[in-house]
């Protein structure tokens, strides 16, 4: 560009205007901080996604602000887990004026399972979903628009690192389709993220091995992917999968299960009052561990958040379950 400095200002400006403009990276909107972290890893220095669920908010129960709805309408791509996690986003997603949506839970490569409270693993339960990035037709999900389903597929699938790796790749391919000029960068970033995730997985396996066989209590039924992947006992959940307050009958049933199982620890959860958990374990001998944050709602947003979520859960469980 040094030759442009020799030109008169008007001619230099004209020469610059004649250069081909670099395409701007696509505008990406995500549902939660965890999904946003995965997208941020793939985008790298090229940009950052807009995360709809604000810090400290419950992704199961949320209401879009008008400014967020406008950003969603202007997005080139919505990357979200799916209506199983955020039913409030299903209708806006179907009404997008432009762009497409990548529903991560619907991807064929996603390892899926039913809620831990139902006692079943249902990997690849959605073979009939077809693809992945689609034009807002979510009829096959089997969810109504009025509330969150407590049965069927557990949407907290990011807590299995295998899904995290698959989602990095899928996000990179979706971005590459929208922004072919930077496709190589997206794919390289996804590969680097998957490699770092594999190292973290090995670290957590070693950390959690002594905790295998221990029984513990959590606030809501969100940890089946994590416990299943790392060989831990399924957690006893006080609340159902949507984190709604349990009925008196369920609370009584949970208290009986905690006493009968001789649970070692009970873990409160970020953004939820620990008093309900404390009531459930009162008189059972279970000690309270550190608060878990499966959605990363209390963590600073950014590409490191996903690893911090997994490491935080692993460390909290290991510290309490293996304490003398």
User: Which tens digit of pLDDT belongs to each residue from 22-59?
Assistant: 568 899 999 999 999 999 999 999 999 999 988 878 88
Q: How confident is the model at residue 12 (pLDDT cuts 50, 70, 90)?
A: very low
Distance, CA of 99 to CA of 283 (rounded, Å): 54
pLDDT digits (tens, 9 = 90+) for 287-324: 999 999 999 989 999 999 999 999 999 999 999 999 98
In a domain? residue 117: yes
Q: Are residues 176 and 306 in the same domain?
A: no
Q: Which contiguous run of DSSP H or E holds residue 278?
A: helix 275-281
Q: How confident is the model at residue 242 (pLDDT cuts 50, 70, 90)?
A: low
pLDDT digits (tens, 9 = 90+) for 145-188: 334 444 578 999 999 999 999 999 999 999 999 999 999 999 99
Mean pLDDT rounded to a whole number for the chain = 83
How many angstroms separate the Cα of 176 from the Cα of each of 26, 139, 313, 322?
A: 10, 27, 32, 44
How many angstroms separate the Cα of 316 from the Cα of each of 80, 256, 268, 286, 319?
A: 27, 24, 11, 15, 5
Cβ within 8 Å of residue 233, ≥6 positions away: 212, 213, 214, 215, 216, 227
Q: Are residues 151 and 243 in the same domain?
A: no
Closest alpha carbon to 57 in 295, 261, 220, 238 = 295
In a domain? residue 261: yes
* Most confident of the ranges 2-16, 132-146, 207-221: 207-221
* Residue 93, pLDDT score: 84
The total domain count for the chain is: 2
Length of the chain: 324
Distance, CA of 208 to CA of 212 (rounded, Å): 7
Q: Are residues 150 and 221 in the same domain?
A: no
* Residue 61, pLDDT score: 80
262: containing domain: 207-293+300-321
In a domain? residue 231: yes
| More confident: 266 or 150 | 266
Q: Are residues 246 and 199 in the same domain?
A: no
| Alpha-carbon torsion angle 24, 27, 33, 35, nearest 10 | -90
**How is 154-198 classified by DSSP, letter by letter?**
-S-GGGSHHHHHHHHHHHHHHHHHH-GGGHHHHHHHHHHHHHHHH
- Give me the CATH number covering residue 258: 3.40.50.1980
Mean of pLDDT values over 129-144: 40
Instruction: Please check the confidence at residue 254 and state whether its pLDDT lies above 90.
Output: no
Distance, CA of 134 to CA of 293 (rounded, Å): 30
* Residue 221, pLDDT score: 87
> pTM of the prediction?
0.82
Distance, CA of 305 to CA of 295 (rounded, Å): 9
CA 30 to chain centre: 10
CB distance 231 to 318 below 8 Å: no
Instruction: Please check the confidence at residue 276 and state whether its pLDDT lies above 50.
Output: yes
| Alpha-carbon torsion angle 234, 235, 237, 241, nearest 10 | -60
pLDDT digits (tens, 9 = 90+) for 82-131: 999 999 999 888 876 566 899 999 999 999 998 865 444 444 443 343 34
Q: How confident is the model at residue 197 (pLDDT cuts 50, 70, 90)?
A: very high
* Residue 99, pLDDT score: 62
Distance, CA of 163 to CA of 186 (rounded, Å): 18
């Amino acid at each position: 560009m040094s030759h442009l400095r020799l030109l008169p200002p008007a001619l230099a400006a004209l020469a610059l205007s004649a250069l081909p403009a670099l395409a701007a990276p696509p505008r990406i909107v995500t549902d939660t901080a965890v999904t946003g972290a995965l997208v941020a890893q793939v985008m790298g220095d090229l940009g950052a996604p807009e995360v709809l669920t604000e810090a400290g908010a419950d992704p199961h129960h949320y209401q879009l602000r008008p400014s967020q709805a406008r950003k969603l309408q202007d997005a080139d791509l919505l990357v979200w887990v799916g209506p199983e996690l955020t039913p409030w986003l299903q209708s806006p997603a179907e009404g997008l004026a432009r762009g497409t949506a990548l529903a991560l839970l619907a991807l064929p490569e996603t390892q899926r399972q039913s809620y831990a409270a139902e006692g079943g693993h249902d990997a690849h339960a959605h073979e009939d979903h077809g693809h992945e990035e689609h034009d807002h037709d979510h009829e096959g999900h089997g969810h109504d628009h009025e509330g969150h389903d407590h049965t069927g597929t557990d949407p907290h699938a990011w807590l299995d690192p295998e899904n995290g790796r698959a989602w990095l790749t899928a996000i990179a391919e979706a971005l590459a389709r929208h922004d072919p000029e930077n496709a190589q960068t997206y794919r390289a970033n996804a590969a680097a993220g998957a490699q770092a995730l594999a190292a973290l997985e090995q670290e957590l396996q070693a950390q959690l091995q002594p905790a295998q066989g221990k029984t513990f209590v959590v606030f809501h039924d969100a940890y089946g992917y994590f416990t299943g992947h790392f060989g831990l006992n399924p957690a006893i959940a006080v609340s159902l999968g949507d984190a709604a307050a349990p009925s008196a009958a369920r609370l009584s049933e949970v208290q009986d299960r905690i006493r009968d199982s001789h649970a070692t620890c009970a873990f409160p959860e970020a953004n939820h009052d620990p008093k309900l958990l404390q009531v459930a374990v009162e008189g059972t001998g279970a000690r309270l561990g550190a608060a878990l944050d499966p959605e990363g709602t209390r963590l600073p947003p950014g590409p490191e958040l996903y690893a911090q979520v997994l490491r935080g859960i692993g460390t909290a469980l290991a510290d309490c379950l293996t304490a003398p």
